[in-house]
Structure 1
Amino acid sequence: MKYPRRYRLNRAEGRIYRQSIGGLTPLGREMNVALLYATDPTRAVPYPSATEQEWVALSFLDSERQFGYALLNSGSSNALAEWLAYRQQLRKEGLKLWQVTTRIGFRLSASGDGHRSWYYYTFTAEEGLPSSQLLERLRPQSWELVDPFLDLGDIPKPSLAESIEEIEATSLRLADERTQFLYWE
């Protein structure tokens, strides 16, 4: 059994890193994931070197279909606005996070005087993995949907089993809605 991967979404540099025993491995400016769960924004200090601000914890399958965790942070620039808008758009379309592949990236922004720059998150929905592939990867796992090594306070922490049940139930309901049986006698 592989351990979950942990990713850092560095808004100061607009880069994504994967954490490993040897340090941080740079991956580029965007990545595609099948999101499984996202917490609501919560004010916290998730690890000792972090500052108190709004955080969103994500769990997902990365592009190699490995289970992973990442954090989004608000900073002092309301960087979670794009995430909240993306999540609201999916809800309006009647989609669950896991029903699409989410491309997470960055957009450069600068202060009015041009002396400071930083990056905002960007999110784009693309065609998702078939639920059968998601379930195939998730069923043998026992990971938690919120990284257990983070301190995000007293937030709901559903189990992976609950997420699997939801995927199965939604997949069955969608199949029933799309299937029209014709009987020829």
Structure 2
Amino acid sequence: MRRSAWVVVLAFLASTSAGYAAEIRSSEAPFGLAWGPIDQVPRPLKADREANLTALYYPQGWGPAVGPGTALVVLVVCRDEGLQQVVWVGMPLGGEELAQARRAIREEGVRRYGEPERGPSADAELWPGGRALLASRAIPDGRRELVMAAYGPGYAACSDSHRGQTGHVAGAHVADLFGSADR
């Protein structure tokens, strides 16, 4: 899987009124999906494979990537563990619009998971147990894209397997987006 292809990240929590969140229950993955084996997913625009990982890409309007605040959704399926990561990338935002969207997502994360810890990059936040990550990334026009990743219960085993096959953990693909170390 090309690391440049992972220039995407997460959107699953949002303010229900502003269209920036999606329901997440502890046993469910974002967008009403379930963690683990999958028998059906919407057809993606493209798929990338590396070792035990398959990343399925859904641009705005495809499959789970619906809603005005969503630019891209990536589902990461592990060979043995099934769906174990959902990455959401929001539409480019700036100024107060970016601040409001981030606050809404963060507040929903706190409501669901408790207070986050500092994440792997300067503006990243990681919820307890590594269940979710919120960050942003700059784009060339000066705005930022909010990125969120949710991790399933088998993610650690999937990542360990990926490391054994490639020499890097599965989280390196998302970490590359933020210039951070291994997750």
Fold shared per TM-score above 0.5: no
Larger Rg: 1
Larger % of strand: which?
1
